[in-house]
Amino acid sequence: MLTKRIIPCLDVKEGRVVKGVQFVSLREAGDPVELAKFYNEQGADELVFLDISASHEGRETMVDVVRQTASTLAIPFTVGGGIRTLEDMKRLLRAGADKVSVNSSALQRPELIKEGSDYFGAQCIVVAIDAKWSEEDGTWMVYTHGGRNKTDWQAVAWAKEAVRLGAGELLVTSMDQDGEKSGFDLPLTKAIREAVNVPIIASGGAGNADHFYDVLQHVDADAALAASIFHYKETSVAEVKNELRQKGVFVR
């Protein structure tokens, strides 16, 4: 049986880690290099680094910060934000990333997923999906540019298309639950889990170890990602893993 993964996320803006609620009201949480080192020592299974303002500001991900962060890690490291071309992917993978995450650019030019998957292998390509429930549409809709722009894509349909194009993994963030600490969006995660056959990382809403259990066990997400509860020491990766083990969940 595959072990479930616990993944801290570093949302980076202007070289500092930040965290907000529903993608707004950002507050600082520290230095990305120091936090990466801390999580590596704590037993995190992977780390996700998202340059959250790169796409909105139309610039490249901070390669130097990526290089410094990668130098402290012995665990897989995914980097996203502002990746628009195959050359951008090459630059980040050379700087030490193990995987690249694409979001806004993939929605604007879906062939980017195929180009990356064909060149590096599907295991290197993570498609991030920022989804928000729409009463008007009666389903979850996909947003780009850090949650600023609503697209015409339904989340489940886009998940299927991303996998068809070569995504090896999906990072599914509930904008409704982001930073709320009231639990992951189980219906959203379940709908996408049932639609695709690649690993899914659930994101948005973690408040305690029970929330990780619910999304990993009840809707069979492959990994669960969190930020603020780890950054602000409300709990630790080790504590979450211990509780999951006690409940019979296979974690590393």
pLDDT, one tens digit per residue, over 126-157 is 999 999 999 999 999 999 987 889 999 999 99
pTM: 0.92
Note down the domain range covering 197.
5-246
Residue 238 lies in a domain: yes
Residue 252 lies in a domain: no
Please give the Cα distance from 235 to 232 (Å, whole number): 8
pLDDT, one tens digit per residue, over 72-122 is 899 999 999 889 999 999 999 999 999 999 999 999 999 999 999 999 999
Q: Active-site residue 11, yes or no?
A: yes
Q: Name the phi and psi angles at 15, rounded to 5.
A: 85, 0
Q: Which of 45, 130, 178, 185 is catalytic?
A: 130
In the chain, DSSP assigns E strands to 5-13, 16-21, 24-30, 47-51, 77-80, 99-102, 125-134, 139-144, 149-154, 169-174, 200-203, 223-226
Look at the chain and report how many structural domains it folds into: 1
Residue 251 lies in a domain: no
Please give the Cα distance from 245 to 234 (Å, whole number): 19
Residue 58's pLDDT is 47
Residue 150 lies in a domain: yes
Q: What is the CATH number of the domain that holds 102?
A: 3.20.20.70
